Amino acid sequence: MSTSTDNDRLLSIDTCNMYAEHIGIGGVTAEHCQALAGELATIHNDIAKELGHGLDSEYACLSLHDTMQDQLDEISKVAEAIRHFQDILVIGIGGSSLGCKAIRHALKPERRPENPVSLRFVENIDPFLLEELFQELNPKNTALICISKSGDTIETVAQYQILRQWLIKHLGKKQASKQQWLVTDPEQGWLHECARRDNITALAVPRKVGGRYSVLSAVGLLPLRVSGVDIQELLQGAADNAARCQSPVSEENPALEMAALYYLLDVECDKHLSIMMPYVNRLRLFVDWYCQLWAESLGKNTSYKNGVTAAGTLPVRAMGAVDQHSQLQMYLESRKNKMFSFIELTQWQNDIPLPQNDFDHSFFPYLKDKSLVDVIAAEFCATRQVITDTGHPNLTVSLPELSAYTLGQLIDLYQRTTIYTGLLYGINPQDQPSVEKGKKLAIECLNNKYDRSGTKT
């Protein structure tokens, strides 16, 4: 039910509180698990067979730690060229931004003399943000990395066109081209054509790797390498997590067990909200990445297996300890339709002791000789306990350190879990048909086919 290993840098995953044996009626039973064992093995074995095709595999995202090794020299060479600039704007949205943002935020590579670059993400359409950038940045010292797998996502295209024009206006076309890099489909799309037409260096997004599964390709690796993240360690973390997920038996494969639990809690136990609550502030954006991965992969209504017509649990963002003062009341007294995934850090690289004088001590005797890490650990322990006592299923992923290595593991763990879960629902976890519908409608709106009230003209 919980995994422990010899490598003390691996994540540990405690799933005990997902089971009825520990939390009572709201949890998964041994019978549920037995009934699913055969299907889990089939799903795992099908994926494993496919993975033999490397970048041509349907599940190419799960072997990027291996297949990207050949491209690391090229990525590093390009990154070194970009690092000559002081400010780097990374333009992209959804899967072309969230993973990189999450890792960058978690690791916050310092701006030091040897690492002087600053990375900023241009994601949501926002005239305020672009105006601020124009006021603040010097075009001579600014580079653009535009990332879009399709090469035609409107939000990205629009902002890239504005920023490209800004460079051209100040530096001329030739120099502007030397300050831009693109990451896109290697064969088609507007961005791919821009690279050819304007002689801009472009790195490829592997064709079989979907946007939200692409952080371990050039999509994430290039900007992360630019900002000083150890991308080899990131891939090593993913590789080591993949290595512990080789078994078709859920007790020996943490991603398979997590998928089974998340799935069973939804379809057998009516837990339709999946709340992720890290007790590590720097994982705030990791939750955004997870929410996109989970929602866009699993929110599908095409499955009729076992009578399930709508798949997927709603992923919900939370943050410990702040949401104890915001959401916890609802978690404890509202409907029992929730499950929780906690993330904690067991070894903080830094800590700050609480300086108490006698006066402070008379009010807070329990804070004597304590530190900030002691306080956050106590907050986590208490919250998990009340959630468990209330009968909510919950699991805990413990990170032994906050590093590229553990982030790589976490990324692989959740990508793998999401794909297994999607296949359990009988849906395709790698498409997003309704998002495509929205993209088409936005184009129709821009073509003036609708007025502002949404009426067809």
Which residues of this protein are in contact with ligand PA5, per CB under 6 A? 93-96, 148-150, 153, 156, 210-212, 296, 432
Minimum distance between the CB of residue 288 and ligand PA5, rounded to whole angstroms? 12
Q: Catalytic site residue 325?
A: yes
Q: Catalytic site residue 39?
A: no
Q: Are 96 and 102 in contact (CB under 8 A)?
A: no
Minimum distance between the CB of residue 149 and ligand PA5, rounded to whole angstroms? 4
Minimum distance between the CB of residue 335 and ligand PA5, rounded to whole angstroms? 30
Catalytic residue among 114, 325, 440, 456: 325
Q: Give CA–CA dist 198/182, Å, rounded.
A: 11
Q: Catalytic site residue 110?
A: no
DSSP 403: S
Q: Are 121 and 101 in contact (CB under 8 A)?
A: yes
- If the CB atoms of residues 189 and 254 are measured against ligand PA5, the closer one turns out to be 189
In 10 A of CB 77, how many CB atoms? Answer: 11
The separation between CA 339 and the C-alpha centre of its own chain, rounded to angstroms, equals 19
**Hey, is 200 helix, strand or coil?**
coil
Indicate the residue whose CB is closest to ligand PA5. 211
Residue 142, token pair as written in the block: 């600014």
Minimum distance between the CB of residue 39 and ligand PA5, rounded to whole angstroms? 26
- 203 phi, psi to nearest 5 deg: -105, 150
Pairing of strands 338-345, 273-278: parallel
Q: Which of 115, 390, 313, 166 is nearest to 104 (CA)?
A: 115
Minimum distance between the CB of residue 300 and ligand PA5, rounded to whole angstroms? 13
Minimum distance between the CB of residue 123 and ligand PA5, rounded to whole angstroms? 10
- If the CB atoms of residues 293 and 387 are measured against ligand PA5, the closer one turns out to be 293
- If the CB atoms of residues 95 and 408 are measured against ligand PA5, the closer one turns out to be 95
Taking the alpha carbons at both ends of the chain, their separation in whole angstroms is 58
Write the single-letter amino acid at 10.
L
- If the CB atoms of residues 27 and 211 are measured against ligand PA5, the closer one turns out to be 211
Catalytic residue among 296, 300, 338, 344: 296
Residue 95, token pair as written in the block: 């899967």
- If the CB atoms of residues 325 and 440 are measured against ligand PA5, the closer one turns out to be 440
Dihedral in degrees, nearest 10, Cα atoms 224, 229, 231, 237: -120
- If the CB atoms of residues 189 and 393 are measured against ligand PA5, the closer one turns out to be 189
Indicate which residues carry an active-site annotation: 296, 325, 439
